[in-house]
């Protein structure tokens, strides 16, 4: 019989279709699934019977785990981050990822995933290199990870579709399905039409998804126009890359016709407002995307172009940057932003997560409310809580993180890793890779 975990007396923010919030509610988990969600009352009290463990969530909010829809494992946070996108890529990002060894990638992944879990993120959609190091890191720490390679044409010395296929065949479906492998395309300036068509063909053959950077900067749009005579999204459409199994990251510079192509193909979009702002790439037309019926989730991108993997910070930016840009305080209310960080991201990946409902995976985050971030808080006022979660909180308020029914962060302490070892090894790896690129 599966272990029975009961989370009792919390404010359960279900993010279900009715946006129900249960004050004093209870969530019951058996194995990797939610088997009951009870409002306050006799059923909630009785749910404790036969439990392997009861977590008292008094003064805590119980949320669906956050989904970071565009993610890069990162080794060089804060290093050479004063540069615009193209200079940064050529002088920092590409040299570092070309100089990676297996061990450096492993510890970088553990450091990255541990920060995410500390911030209530239970799923990452991670495009990076050396998936033979990333997958064991994800399996060990317990995070849900969709991994893809940095695929480009051969002269750019990144990854190939053959690398991606090998990673899929070795790792896809491991760890009770927590690890998946998608086909990754670095971005269109480092691709060719033939590579894009082959990427679509490989994804279809494997029955998996695609992760691609698209229309991130004006420079990218100009470069692709000069190389191929088409805008990036038009080229992606022409080569069949787009579709409901495709996560297109950034999409800052979509015109009306390209938004229509996204709608026609059902392509999912990751909005990464902090990274886009830090790199000076602009503000995506998310209001128009949502009006077109597109599924839009949130991503932090990479710690090098964000300096934090805290998706609570991304949520705040995702509202405020559009309100400022459109001079409209009515845009992106807190419940809608939280939906982007939970159910939208899960829907984009086709995962049974992102909501606290019976039958869904038990990916949960418990957020402590007894602190200044959540003071004052009117009892029973869901809107007040939503506001604090999006506009006042940060990842430090997360107390406990559960993935696949397993408590991986227990009242601030990791159950699956030695955190001090991870931090020390990641720092050593950075210095070793830095020496290598300076040599």
pLDDT of residue 80: 73
pLDDT of residue 1: 57
**What CATH number should be reported for the domain holding residue 375?**
2.30.40.10
User: 37 with 78, same domain?
Assistant: no
User: 303 with 162, same domain?
Assistant: yes
pLDDT of residue 116: 98
Q: Does residue 114 belong to any structural domain of this protein?
A: yes
111 vs 71, 141, 143, 300, 413, CA distance in Å? 13, 10, 12, 15, 14
Tokens of 424: 């020390």
User: 286 with 220, same domain?
Assistant: yes
Q: Does residue 420 belong to any structural domain of this protein?
A: no
User: 184 with 221, same domain?
Assistant: yes
pLDDT of residue 92: 81
pLDDT digits (tens, 9 = 90+) for 276-333: 999 999 999 999 999 999 999 999 998 888 899 999 999 999 999 999 999 999 999 9
| Calpha distance 177→172 (Å, rounded) | 8
| Number of separate domains in the chain | 2
Q: Which residues pair with 247 in a beta bridge?
A: 211, 268
| Calpha distance 362→364 (Å, rounded) | 6
User: 240 with 282, same domain?
Assistant: yes
pLDDT digits (tens, 9 = 90+) for 358-375: 999 999 999 999 999 999
Q: Which domain holds residue 381?
A: 4-64+355-412
Q: What average pLDDT is seen over the chain?
A: 95
Positions in the chain whose pLDDT score sits under 50:
none
């Amino acid at each position: 019989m599966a272990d029975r975990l009961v989370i009792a007396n919390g404010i359960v923010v279900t993010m279900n279709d009715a946006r129900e919030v249960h004050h004093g509610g209870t969530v019951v988990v058996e194995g990797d699934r939610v088997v009951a969600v009870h409002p306050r009352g006799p059923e909630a009290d009785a749910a404790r019977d036969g439990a392997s463990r009861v977590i008292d969530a008094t003064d805590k909010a119980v949320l669906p785990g956050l989904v970071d829809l565009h993610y890069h494992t990162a080794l060089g946070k804060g290093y050479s981050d004063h540069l615009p996108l193209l200079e940064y890529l050529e002088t920092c990002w590409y040299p570092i990822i070309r100089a990676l060894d297996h061990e450096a990638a492993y510890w970088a992944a553990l450091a990255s995933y541990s920060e995410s879990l500390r911030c209530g993120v239970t799923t990452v959609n991670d495009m990076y290199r050396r998936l033979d190091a990333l997958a064991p890191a994800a399996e060990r720490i317990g995070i849900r990870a969709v991994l893809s390679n940095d695929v480009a044409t051969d002269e750019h010395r990144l990854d190939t579709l053959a690398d991606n296929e090998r990673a899929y065949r070795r790792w896809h479906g491991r760890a009770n399905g927590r690890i998946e492998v998608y086909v990754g395309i670095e971005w269109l300036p480092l691709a060719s039409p033939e590579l894009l068509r082959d990427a679509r063909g490989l994804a279809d053959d494997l029955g998996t998804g695609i992760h691609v950077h698209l229309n991130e900067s004006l420079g990218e749009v100009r470069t692709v126009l000069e190389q191929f005579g088409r805008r990036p999204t038009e080229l992606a459409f022409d080569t069949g890359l787009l579709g409901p199994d495709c996560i297109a990251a950034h999409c800052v510079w979509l015109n009306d016709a390209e938004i229509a192509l996204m709608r026609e193909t059902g392509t999912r979009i990751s909005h990464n407002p902090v990274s886009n702002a830090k790199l000076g790439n602009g503000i995506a037309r998310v209001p128009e995307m949502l009006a077109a019926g597109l599924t839009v989730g949130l991503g932090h991108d990479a710690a090098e172009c964000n300096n934090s993997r805290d998706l609570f910070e991304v949520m705040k930016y995702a509202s405020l940057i559009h309100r400022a840009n459109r001079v409209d305080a009515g845009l992106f209310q807190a419940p809608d932003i939280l939906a982007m960080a939970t159910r939208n991201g899960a829907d984009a990946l086709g995962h049974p997560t992102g909501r606290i409902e019976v039958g869904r995976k038990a990916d949960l985050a418990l957020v402590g409310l007894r602190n200044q971030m959540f003071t004052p808080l009117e009892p029973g006022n869901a809107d007040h809580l939503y506001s604090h979660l999006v506009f006042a909180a940060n990842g430090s308020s997360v107390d406990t993180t559960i993935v696949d029914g397993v408590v991986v962060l227990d009242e601030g302490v990791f159950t699956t890793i030695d955190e001090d070892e991870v931090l020390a090894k990641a720092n050593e790896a950075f210095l070793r890779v830095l020496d290598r690129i300076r040599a």
